[in-house]
Amino acid sequence: MTIVAEAAIPSRRELNKAATREAIATAALELLRAKGMNGFTADDVANAAGVSRRTFFNYFSSPEAAIASFTQKYLDTVIEQLLLRPRDEALLESAQHALTAVEPKDLATLAETFALTQGDAQLSRFQLEAWDNCSSKIITAIGSRLGGLDAAGAAPGSTPLDANGELYLHALVQSVIACGRAAVEVWFRRHGEDISPASLAQLRELLVSAIGHLRTGFHS
């Protein structure tokens, strides 16, 4: 049986806020492509997006955070896909599917932003935070399947995980996240800034293979 979360219909205000956030992030990415990370400021991003400086900072703390939002968008999609997987499916099989079941353009943007931000310590930090911040959401998603945890520590109507179960859950999630990051890093070393369809196909294969190593216990 597939789990399908019932999504609330967003209000016009929520849609407008999402559109503004997307416009700001897109403007930041376009400036990154054209000028490199040190070639523009938050004011430049705001002007390119057609918003005020104040509006920019209502959505993002810095241009780096705006760029990192594309990584967060990819990871949010991963979580959505994970929630759609059947309850009786092996968790690592679900993780393999979730990591790769994204729109090609979103995977391309993930790859491109990773490639363009290498060598910039501030941007790399925001990218790393995006992956780390994802872990609590995935723990909630997987914990509900195991009958355990939500964001507050326990899912209503479920039996809380014991100490071993909680350790298993956290270790599994952190391992999946580490595998995802490792796949992107290896892809970048091999392909650099190439985001052609063939290169992105290799990234998908690396994501699947990384989780495959977890599934086999890292045995060749």
Q: Using an 8 Å Cβ cutoff, are 61 and 45 in contact?
A: no
* Predicted local confidence at residue 151, as pLDDT: 38
Residue-wise pLDDT tens digits, 117-173: 877 777 778 888 888 888 888 887 777 666 544 433 444 444 556 667 788 888 888
Report the alpha-carbon distance of residue 217 to residue 139 in Å, rounded: 21
* Predicted local confidence at residue 155, as pLDDT: 41
User: Low-confidence residues of the chain, pLDDT below 50?
Assistant: 1-5, 148-158
Q: What is the DSSP string of the chain?
A: -B----PPPPPHHHHHHHHHHHHHHHHHHHHHHHH-GGG--HHHHHHHHT--HHHHHHH-SSHHHHHHHHHHHHHHHHHHHHHTSBTTS-HHHHHHHHHH-S-HHHHHHHHHHHHHHTT-HHHHHHHHHHHHHHHHHHHHHHHHHHT---TTSS-TTSPPP-HHHHHHHHHHHHHHHHHHHHHHHHHHHHHTT---HHHHHHHHHHHHHHHHHHHTTT--
* Predicted local confidence at residue 17, as pLDDT: 92
Report the alpha-carbon distance of residue 65 to residue 87 in Å, rounded: 34
Say what the pTM is. Answer: 0.77
* Predicted local confidence at residue 7, as pLDDT: 52
